[in-house]
Amino acid sequence: MDQPLQPQQLQRQRRRVFITSALVVLSLSLAGWLLHRLLTPELHRSELRIATIGQGDIANTINGAGLVIPVHEAQVASPISTRVSKIHVKPGQTVQKDQLLLELDDHDVQLAIENLREQIAQQDSLMLSLTVGMQQQLKKLRSDIELLQLDLASSTVRLSRFQKLGALGITSQDDLQSAELVVKRAEVQLKQQQEAIIDTQKATEATLENARLQQSIYQKQLAQQQRVLDRTQVKAPFAGMLTWLPTDEGTAIQAGELVAKLAQLDNYRVEVSVSDFYSRYLQPGQPVRLTYNQETLTGEVQTILPEINNGTVRLYVSLQQPNHPALRNKLRIEANIITEQKQQTLIVERGTAIKGSGAQQVYLLKDGVAEKTMLEFGLADSGQIEVLSGATAGMELIISELDSYQHLTQIRVSD
């Protein structure tokens, strides 16, 4: 017959059951924790790039490669086909306005000038000869007119006497008609001589005018050759740095060929190249931010060139400080063209984990756990991007690449 258990035995039995149950629960919890540890990898904070979401201003930018160039750059061309006679300076030198850079052989120009001067002198001689000849001819014509006027006066007196005698019947009709013909002949001859004076003056004046016109042509050609002669003395059009010049004396030069390049090195602009993909977003007047060695300059789009070469569009940016001391000719500089701006919006530093604008799953860090979260990004520049939704200011975001962990919803992060 079974004996009833004593109270002490019952208590010991309950204690064993409780301890056993507690151990089972603890073991299961420990196993679950270990399993979670195994399934949820751990990364150290130092392995990650972590950025804090904050508020600030942001601009949507188009990145481009900039090249600093002078605003004023002169290219001097040879006026004639010749050769380099003498070089006075070297590329890289700073020169003053009107300083002599090089001399071109001007022998042919000098010959042309002498020939034109002779042609002008010949025209002077011709005009003088025409003037003297006309004066002599006019003098002879006027002398002939005076004689004809005397003959006419004499013939008129004789005709008057015959007319009076004819009225008295003393002279014959033939004598009277003969006297009348003499008067008429004298009048015709006088008129012809008077017209000859006018004709001579007109003809001589026409010849003189032609000579003057030809002389004027020669004088213009002479002035042109004088200008060409002056240009064979190649001078600096303004103060600046000589960037190119022929290196050897005696070098053959063709008409129109470049003989000197000069840049004004206290006034710059930037030539920017961007992908033609962004050409539809570009407009004159857009602000531009330029950076070099932690120096930031500002400017605006001045001119967009219409042609596309090798998939790139070129544009010129005018600077607010074109004489900034950091600027150098041919300096390469990063350019960010601002197409849109927002103020006091959520922004975060850009990293490789953020692919660009639009919705994207990233990891937000809270209490040592990085949890995959859907965020929507907006405007972006080279350093920051706008957070449109999915997070608030103060949250931490892992911005380094986590491609090998993309299948996980959570990642432990230790300090």
Q: What is the CATH number of the domain that holds 248?
A: 2.40.50.100
Q: How far is CA 90 from the centre of its chain?
A: 26
Position 143: which residue type?
A: S
Quote the number of domains for the chain.
3
Per-residue pLDDT tens over the stretch 323-360: 998 898 889 999 999 988 888 999 999 888 888 889 99
Clarify whether residues 301 and 365 are in a common domain.
yes
| Residues forming a β-bridge with 54 | 347
Clarify whether residues 97 and 241 are in a common domain.
yes
Instruction: Kindly state whether residue 317 falls inside one of the protein's structural domains.
Output: yes
Clarify whether residues 258 and 290 are in a common domain.
no
The residue range of the domain holding 335 is 43-69+267-414
Clarify whether residues 391 and 316 are in a common domain.
yes
Instruction: Kindly state whether residue 24 falls inside one of the protein's structural domains.
Output: no
Per-residue pLDDT tens over the stretch 275-293: 999 999 999 999 999 998 8
Clarify whether residues 304 and 327 are in a common domain.
yes
Clarify whether residues 319 and 397 are in a common domain.
yes
Instruction: Kindly state whether residue 25 falls inside one of the protein's structural domains.
Output: no
Clarify whether residues 219 and 253 are in a common domain.
no
Q: Give the Cα separation of 357 and 375 in Å (integer).
A: 10
Clarify whether residues 280 and 398 are in a common domain.
yes
Contact 343, 386 (CB under 8 A): no
Clarify whether residues 326 and 358 are in a common domain.
yes
Task: Look at residues 325, 338, 331 and name the one whose alpha carbon lies nearest to residue 379.
Answer: 338
Instruction: Kindly state whether residue 204 falls inside one of the protein's structural domains.
Output: yes
Q: Give the Cα separation of 126 and 185 in Å (integer).
A: 38
Instruction: Kindly state whether residue 31 falls inside one of the protein's structural domains.
Output: no
Clarify whether residues 174 and 219 are in a common domain.
yes
- Spans of the chain below 70 pLDDT: 1-15, 17-18, 21-22, 24, 27-41, 151-152, 155, 159-176, 179
Clarify whether residues 100 and 117 are in a common domain.
no
Instruction: Kindly state whether residue 406 falls inside one of the protein's structural domains.
Output: yes
